[in-house]
Structure 1
């Protein structure tokens, strides 16, 4: 039976390729083998062979195979007049044939429904124009794109679709444009943008495999475009960052030379009563160097040199550095009860830099706050499973949602003389340590920075 099935598949496939004009030859090629089986076995053989051919075909091609296969099967019955060994009358023969064909027809309908369901629920819009230019099939997504019911679209041609009252003005223009560029000029691909800025990729499939039909598919590629533009923008920023870092590095050398010569000239300027000029120049050079240092730190991530350190020692050391500045600004820095045995493995220099930036921002926020009363910055730490959470809370001016969302972006700052690099550097340092930083702030009430780091 397996050899007969192979012969049947070859004959059936040849019939599909040659068309009805060559149908006699594939049937005759099966020879005497078919006369040794009954009609039930033939229908079963036909169904098995169809499953083999349809499994390797495209959905539209498989549907065409099934339609042609009925003609092929009927020709076989007509040519060979199969002997029915277990029936006794023509009425029984016809009834059995009718039942067998009905069973095969149901199988075909099941496969056809499966392929149609696949087409209906694709994320691309699908519409098929028949050889006369009328819509013969349209799926749910295409109807959604056009904003029209599927039943309304069936039977329309392109001019009728473009003139339809329920079609939006933007899609009407698109339909006219597609008619010109895809139907008249036979372009296969076209990208369009609607009035809302959404991008669509339109693909047209022509050819004999569709029996003169034209299949149009439309896919919303807006998100892909955003990703593409974002990647392109990131590439540009990365290149710009490399160039800027190289320039910043080179600027430091002449600044160092200028600072040295100013220091040498400072005694002479002091004799002339111009020592203030020297002090201002040196201060501005130092400020420029600080900006360049922060920029180079943010553009050249370095691998942390981790050492085990107690959290309480790290926070106490950082707090001591701000005691005098806090007194001048009328602010209290309070260290809450800290776990004495909790340790983290961090690059101490980098983590100090991150904490100093955060506390400095809190001090600035408290100093700018118009509310009466003394400013307070509370620093606390607590173990949370395999991590430690460090909180820096102030009662300063607070921030709105827009500011919070951009807080860690490079060069974003709300300060007149800020560089916008401090918190960006903090974010990078904490990420490099496998940690996480988040901010919660309310205007007029204050801000909480929460840093989470893994324990040793």
Structure 2
């Protein structure tokens, strides 16, 4: 009910000023604001004027003939100039206090419920007059305006409390009311479930937030969070752990606010993070397993590719090995001559050493590409890495009558990445281009591999062919796993290429070449500072 709303102290102080001013202006001993509290009527505010017999909070029973009762019953102003001269008022209880004249008006709540009256009383006859009545009505209007404001604020407060109560009752989130000293005053069932306690534990006073907090978190609470709470009145949500009743720990997200600035009590909202933490752990494990399967497929792809390149690799190795044999025979002949030519023999052995080193380098590249190792990032000069791949694929290009042209930019910054994986991506793109061009019978078969800088700070690698190209509707689909147009193909090559590039923080895209063919381009983030430092060194 509206009349149950409590008038706050700051409003009472303003009303006190009003009645004191009324008593002074009208030159009467008493100016009062009366409040009805069935079965009594109470002096709510009494002027501090000289000779005022009414004390604040003083009560009297209703239905005893008080002036104010009539005002409240009729809801009309009442003027009694002299009670001794009016038969209706000779027995009025106020006469016993010497108050023989009265002027009062009703005060009501916005819904029409009676609050009480505002009135003035005098020990002598007083006709008050129209001006004083208007003044009293004006003061009454001020009081009723305050009551309207209080009613509006109370309604808003009740609505907020109802929303909060619905939140508490819904048990969607844990809620508890705390004291800075550690006691938990109240909590909903959701919070009790989070920490594994019963309501009996709460009622008995055994539930304390300081006991629920592990020592390492308690130190942080007292050193960081509580000072912030005292200073700002609230804490932004943060993660911590709480002890459950069984001694286990539960991860939670908690936020808090004090009821008033600098206060020692407030409310905290608690969200159980157990499921989220479990999901995060499962996601990390899934990511780990996924990466192990990236790695396994990539290795399988490299081994398969090396198998396809057997003839080309064999050709690359036959050249330096054959040259070693020829130079060894020449060197022996120079040494076996009637006059041994040591200089010619020395040059032959130097050529043997050079060709053996070349064969060894080829073997090392092959071994690196087929070795199954996790990603190992290092600073890579992309042009050098591409050159090694082109060496391995040169025989495949010659076999398919493909002309290879390189347009490698100078002074490129280094890229941070796994050299073998980047080479695998290049290997797949080059072999795809060669195989695509092998299917055409008319026109040149040209493969162009170029590098350059890509803003803001990345290296751009482009593989351009003159093959049949890719239909526009298939441009994105070719990167999907198991998508292939080759007989017997697995459809993993381009998918693996994109995964490798993305794992390095770059992008791989496909577009049409002009007048025909396809253009694959990928970027890898670069480190300009590292490149400059190495160049200066």
TM range (shorter): 0.3 to 0.5
Between structure 1 and structure 2, the one with the greater Rg is 2
Structure with greater strand share of residues: 2
Structure with greater helix share of residues: 1
TM-score (ref. length: structure 1):
0.40
TM-score (ref. length: structure 2):
0.35
